[in-house]
Amino acid sequence: MQLISSRSYPFLDAETLEERKARDTLLKVGENHFLLHMTAEAAIEERLVRLDCRAALLWINQEEREYGMDWE
């Protein structure tokens, strides 16, 4: 497993309306296989998403305003 990229960004918690921090980490787990680990401050929920090369490249090239869109 190899760390490719990691980023932190603020988001608005829908339940408490407080600003929190989220962290996304992109890992390469094999040839043409990637995992996106997403977690939020207080780690109430974590997600793992499998990505192919194309999806990983799109994630890396997201603009800052698009961060966190993978939660939807």
Instruction: Report pLDDT for 33.
Output: 94
Instruction: Report pLDDT for 18.
Output: 82
Q: Where are the domains of the chain?
A: 2-66
Whether the CA torsion 13, 11, 53, 36 is positive or negative: it is negative
Could you read off the pLDDT of 7-18 as tens digits, one per residue? Answer: 988 887 777 788
Q: Residue 30: how many CB atoms within 10 A of its CB?
A: 9
- Low-confidence spans in the chain with pLDDT less than 50: none
Token digits of residue 52: 């192919």
